[in-house]
Structure 1
Amino acid sequence: MTKILITAAGSYGDIAPYTGVGARLRDAGHDVALATHDAYAPLVQAAGLEFRHLPADPRASRPAPGPRPRSASPDSKRDLMRKAAAFIRELGGGIADAARDDTELLLLSTTTAPLGRHLAEARDIPSLGLSLVPNAPTGDFAPVVGGARSLGRWGNRTAGRLSLRIVDRLFKDATRDLRTRLGLPPATPRTVRRRAEAALWPVLHGFSEVLVPRPADWRTGLDVVGNWWPWHAPDAQLPPAVEDFLAAGPPPVFIGFGSMAGGEGERLSSLAVRALRRAKVRGILQSGWAGLTTEHTRQDPDILTVGEVPHALLFPRMSAVVHHCGAGTTAAGLRAKVPTVPVPVTADQPFWAARLASLGAATTPIPFKDLAADDAVTRLADALTKATTDPAHRDRATEAAHRLATEDGTGAVTEAVARLTT
């Protein structure tokens, strides 16, 4: 038995996949703790894992919702960088507190890896990267946080290296503080990162090659292993109110924006309801951070609002899913064999939205900022109609689901852990 600490920070989609990884490792006989924010303690404990506290509020580092100019002002970019750096700096101290003296192995998410590597160095214990996005430079595509447009092979690689330097800058203060606390000699984030790359530090990527084939120009040690699905109880069921709604009519459309668009609930709810009615389809709105609600349509029997419901249970019952295209939600839609209407907001979401569309499992993406346009209801309604009536989208999603079913992402993590601990 190995005492393993998994560290993950961010929103629900950044945390939930690691509950599935942790549960699989626990079943293999390991002692597993997952360190994350307090809001996710019930999620961690329900999976049978030990919860450990990480500080910082992921909402504080998010950009404001709503329409944004194509090129944000220097002041707004600097403000966002300051918020992100402050979040990371607070996180650094928490990671040091979460790792106890008997920790034997660190499993580090993308957000926590630049901090966790210092901890592994100080404790002289092995570590393994577990990433939900492809963030190593490649000629195959531009950095995922830069959108979906390719810059050509040379441009993609150059932009990828620049993206890593920006991340290094964000971690500068946190790195200085953490290395001082751990009694390590001074070193910049870039120096530590390049040491890891030179040592072929292993990183497993928890997504499917159905969407992102492993780039041939990636170094040894970077592997794509398949999705890590959030844990849920084997006997889990949908709430009775949801089952009653599903039984009352044809399969509805799911609409949700996860941890995006905080404070936009009233506007987005009204837009969603009008689009559903125009497309003549039933709908389930997931409240999320946006606070979607159907309070103003209580008498409408064709629309329901839900809170947190496992996508693995809900999505297969839908006729289509409308979402922001976070990595986990993107995979969940494919796994459920249903078409997607992508509404990407920021970060890696335009990348995943474009991947779904190129696969044929989604309609043309509607950028979130476009939902503020005068024709937003029409565009969303047209996309809903296409997603629910064109069989080609469902056929492509079904083909992808069959490939996903052959992959065992958490099994690959278990095998990697065995190699590191024997």
Structure 2
Amino acid sequence: MRISIPLTGTRGDVQPIVALGLELRRRGHDVLVGAPPNLVDFVAATGLAARACGPDIQQLYSSDEGQRALAAGNTLRLMRMVGHQMAGYAEQMNREVIDVCAGADLVVATTVTEDRASSVAEALRIPLVSLHYFPCRDNAAYPFPGALPPRWNPPAPVNRATWLIAENLRRVVFMRYLNALRDTLGLPKSRASTAAVLARAGVPEVQIYDPALVPGLPEQWDARRPFTGFMTLDRAAREAVGELAGDHEAILSWIGDGPAPVFFGFGSMPIRDTAAVLAMVRDVSARLGVRALVSAGWSDLDPADTRWEPDLAVVGPFAHDAVFPRCAAAVHHGGIGTLFESLRAGLPTLVCSVSFEQPMWGGQVERLGVGAHLPFTHLNAAALTEAVAALLTPERRAAAAAFAPTLITEGACAHTADIIEARVG
């Protein structure tokens, strides 16, 4: 079977889908991945066929405008910025999705490509499966991510109202571009939302995050929205993309020379002065009497600038599953991939959220008692000290350790591939 997977977004959006693509290829299917231009080589390194699809979102986030929008912590501002970029790219994006899906027997889309992919699959008269990285459909248990403060626990009618507003806003904003695509495909115009279109067609919407993170949500939905857990690359693929290229002996040796450290990985956060933030981490660690393992993920901090001090280490990329189990706690931006890795290692986790679904995940780790949430806009030495201190209490550490075994750590790719194959069975 020929399976096309049009993608857009950052590496965090692409990597789990590559893991799925490799599983589908192992089952004998021909898989073509449409990836952002900056990630085509990343996908191809794993051996999957890859073709450019969509704009370079990472370049947008790294721009001065993108950094300012991220630093503001305003999801609507970010959505407008991305929407503006997509408006200028819409026609080309339409062509690229059509090109990626040409000749396919089945299309696999994601949260951010399902709108276009649904029209292409309709025109080609082939099945579609959509993968969701976070809750993005109407339910009474949770509000639309970013619509309300994550610590709020609103009643069901309020949650429902946020979804109604958000889905209609998305429908109105993108209708012009999607109808241009439908015209190109020879399809009639549509005023329906993507959610309604997929529901009418009975398209499976696979939740590729862990149900343990969203208690009460699985009961809201039927079998069309199964939960499979987070999909991870196997060792061979990780070696192919360079994720295991570094020597972990030095990191593990440093960890073994003292008490378990707290991991600080600020990932895609808009850090404008890395020296100041590194000084803040050093200050916080000294106040709490802990060691700090810092991931060099900031734009102007060279990962080659590895340093080893008794109580602070700055390192480049490493395999989370090799290092996290030896840490005491984790501080990061709350991307679902890093969040999964820190929680499955049993680490109390502080989410320093920037935008989109990250504040929701920050609210969830607090609600579940396995961590804390500190919006990036509130990040300072005093707030970080208080939040990290809360992670290191015996109660929080015990809760995180007890939560880890409830996560799905095996079989997510296989389960998702089974659902895809059943779509044409």
1:72-101 CA distance string (max 9 Å, x none): 89xx98556434544555533322222232
Residue 110 of structure 1 corresponds to 111
Alignment of 1:44-193 (within 5 A): 44-59=43-58, 60=60, 62=66, 64-65=68-69, 68=72, 81-83=83-85, 85-86=87-88, 90-101=92-103, 103-146=104-147, 147-148=149-150, 149-188=152-191, 190-191=192-193, 193=195
Aligned length: 411
CA distance in 2, matches of 1:7, 1:80: 18
CA distance in 2, matches of 1:197, 1:72: 26
* Aligned counterpart in structure 2 of residue 367 of structure 1, from 375, 387, 393: 375
Question: Residues of 2 paired with 1:65 and 1:268: CA distance?
Answer: 19
Measured in 1, the distance between the counterparts of 2:82 and 2:41 equals 30
Question: What whole-Å deviation, never above 9, does each CA across 1:258-297 have from its counterpart, x for those lacking one?
Answer: 2231645344333223222322222222232544569999
Whole-angstrom distance in 2 between the partners of 1:71 and 1:21: 29
Match of 1:197 in 2: 199
Task: Tell me: CA distance 1:295–1:415, structure 2 relative to 1, closer, same or farther (3 Å).
Answer: closer
Shift of 1:206: 0.7
Q: Give yes or no for the alignment of 1:279 onto 2:288.
A: yes
| In structure 2, C-alpha distance between the alignment counterparts of 1:114 and 1:265, rounded to whole Å | 38
Specify whether residues 267 and 230 from structure 1 end up closer, same or farther in structure 2 by C-alpha distance, changes over 3 A only: farther
Q: In the alignment, which residue of structure 2 is the partner of 1:20? A: 19
Per the alignment, in what secondary structure is the counterpart of residue 64 of structure 1? helix
> Is 1:249 matched up with 2:258?
yes
SS in 2 for 1:93: helix
How big is the shift at 1:191?
4.9
Inter-partner Cα distance in structure 1 for 2:23 and 2:72: 41
- Structure 2 residue 36 is matched with structure 1 residue 32: no
CA, structure 1 residues 284+43, in 2 after alignment: closer, same or farther (shift >3 Å)?
farther
Counterpart contact for 1:206–1:228, Cα < 8 Å? yes
Q: Can you list the C-alpha shifts for 1:146-194, whole angstroms capped at 9, x where unaligned?
A: 2423331111111112111222234234313322332323224x35542
| Structure 2 residue aligned with 1:397 | 400
The unaligned stretches of length 5 or more in structure 1 are: none
Question: CA RMSD, aligned part only?
Answer: 2.9
CA distance in 2 between counterparts of 1:142 and 1:81 reads: 22
Please state if 1:41 is matched with 2:43.
Answer: no
Percent of aligned pairs with the same residue?
26
Instruction: Please name the residue that 2:382 is paired with.
Output: 378
| Matched AA of 1:383 | A
Q: 1:29 to 1:245 in 2, by over 3 A?
A: same
Q: Is the 8 A contact 2:330 2:348 kept in 1?
A: yes
C-alpha distance in 2, partners of 1:71/1:10?
16
Secondary structure class of the residue paired with 2:350: strand
Query: Contact 1:264 / 1:290 at 8 angstroms: preserved in 2?
Result: no
Kindly indicate whether the alpha-carbon contact (under 8 Å) linking 1:17 and 1:231 is maintained by their aligned counterparts in 2.
no
Give 3-state SS (helix, strand or coil) of 2:220's partner. Answer: coil
Deviates more, 1:291-300 or 1:258-267: 291-300
Structure 2: 5+ residue runs without aligned partners?
Answer: none
| Aligned partners of 1:47 and 1:232 also within 8 Å | no
Distance 1:259 1:357, change over 3 A: same
2:74 & 2:246 partners in 1: Cα distance? 41
Looking at structure 1, the residues matched to 91 and 169 of structure 2 have their Cα atoms a distance apart, in angstroms, of 15
**In the alignment, is the contact (CA less than 8 A) between 1:260 and 1:290 conserved in 2?**
no
AA at the equivalent of 1:9: T
